[in-house]
Structure 1
């Protein structure tokens, strides 16, 4: 019998877990839970989520790999490793940044990834094992091009129109309707009253769908997001001297062709088709890395 392994993708908004009991594509248990991101929910919150996951996936897990957003320092990885060791005693544990599992999910050992989910980050590794990273500093210091940033730009657009004495455009009207705001000032108050990134990130599809319909304000915001995401990818590729492949992942790039196409054009103008979009959830990369922990 093939040993059971567990892959975890711990994002800013949710945790995706897959237990695999074979060496192929089949999975035993698949769970979507609340985020276990330490920087978002703290030690106690992460512990509670991981406890529920451990209860759901059952016993017999021999290896766990967690790809976690924000797992940037040895200290943060050590804390998460300790929690996983507590909930999966006896299992081999590995904690990596979530960009690493994207590369594995794409079936690559070397390459670069750019991720746009709640936040944004790019990371890569060349054939010699050297790594490079750009972005992923969190919503206070960066994450340009991510979902929170896109919505923040839309809120700024509402204020620009308000103070210019303009009637709210389609984007601003839609945003105010989605937030039950009577005007831009109430929208701004709401933004400051509940600034958590995952609360606002869910409105990013509204902005990008309006961009797909040709709304000028939404198109400007999409173009700005594409500019930032492409810059992250180019920095990593430049530092490592990598030729493509570049893998695009995260809900904004996977689900919104206008944004992903704009990023591809900015990174590889001559042949944007050579850039791929991740076709399966990143958690499957964590499953593969967990499986490698117990290979003979």
Structure 2
């Protein structure tokens, strides 16, 4: 029976594991598993549990002895390399599933880059829940930009976008109006109002509505903010000026994150990755418009993080 390799993608929202043939550039998939978010930084207490759940689901009836190597890409991979206690939970889950050795942990940047190109030197920009960029050389990160987390950075990514949507909503409420974007945010949190109408004395006063929104957002956490990002896309499609301003600012932030690395990549590819940078979204299109004049022939979009992790695992078997 053929040898297999395992690739994983541990994100803030979802953990994915894929098992596939070791031979070939895109071997037959033998097993897949998903679980809740498994970021060891934002979910330190539960990340290894999500990893274990996705791993068990992917293995299914697959004989663990057939798996010759595994690579796991994740945001926050540095935390596992520097803190053995956190890494121990992942290694224990691996062993409990009957797998030999330990998985190689790489950054989500390395996995995303490897999914899009066969060139070992270039640049990658990721924007999903968070945002970061890296110069890749020899399939490894040699220089990084961003990736500070939602509290200190990640400008232009999902949490930042959600926070910008809430701020625009609060500004609209204080001005006594309900914009398209504000209406969507208010409805998302169950604070109903009349879209497009001026707040009247009989309506729920804007100040009270704003206070309720602030309280709910503060109690909900960062991931709840990221879930608001699609509302910006909806409002943008409806011609919202608030949404258009947010999209433009997000694109400028993201391009600024990667710009300092572009000159060092020589003629290597510029890989875009993550849900926020999909070309179907206004943020993804805006970023491309800013990069295309100078880097258009080098732009490419990453496949899934699991595909990149599988590609790296296969290279290790050669």
Please name the residue that 2:287 is paired with: 263
Aligned partner (choices 190, 193, 197) of residue 219 of structure 2 = 193
Unaligned 5+ runs, structure 1: none
Cα distance change, pair 247–213 in 1 and its aligned pair in 2 (3 A): farther
Residue among 260, 264, 273 paired with 1:235: 260
Shift of 1:158: 1.3
1:136 alignment partner in structure 2: 147
Unmatched 5+ stretches in structure 2 = 193-208
1:286 — aligned with what? Answer: 309
Instruction: Give the match for residue 70 of structure 2.
Output: 64
Counterpart residue number, 2:197: none
Q: How does 1:86-235 map to 2 (within 5 A)?
A: 86-89=92-95, 90-107=100-117, 108-126=119-137, 131-163=142-174, 165-182=175-192, 183-195=209-221, 197-235=222-260
Q: Distance in 2 between the 1:22 and 1:109 partners?
A: 20
Task: Identify the range of structure 1 (69-78 vs 103-112) with the bigger mean alpha-carbon deviation.
Answer: 69-78
Q: Does the alignment pair 1:31 with 2:13? A: no
C-alpha contact (below 8 Å) 1:112/1:125 kept by paired residues: yes
Q: Distance in 1 between matches of 2:255 and 2:151?
A: 20
Q: Secondary structure at the match of 1:168?
A: coil
How high is the TM-score relative to the length of structure 2? 0.83
Any residues of structure 2 matched to 1:41-60 within 5 Å, and which? 41-43=43-45, 45-56=46-57, 57=59, 58=62, 59-60=64-65
Note if contact 2:19-2:30 (Cα within 8 Å) is conserved in structure 1: yes
- Whether contact under 8 Å (2:110, 2:140) holds in the other structure is no
- TM-score relative to the length of structure 1: 0.89
Q: CA deviation at 1:82?
A: 3.4
Q: Is residue 253 from structure 1 mapped to residue 288 from structure 2 by the alignment?
A: no
Aligned length: 290
For the aligned residue pairs, the C-alpha RMSD in angstroms reads 2.3
Q: State how far apart, in whole Å, the 2-side matches of 1:211 and 1:272 are.
A: 25
Does the CA-based 8 Å contact 1:7-1:66 persist in structure 2? yes
Aligned to 1:17: 17
Distance (Å, rounded) in 1 between the aligned partners of 2:139 and 2:69: 26
1:185-242 deviation digits (Å, cap 9, x = unpaired) = 21111111122x222212211112321332110000001110111011112224x243
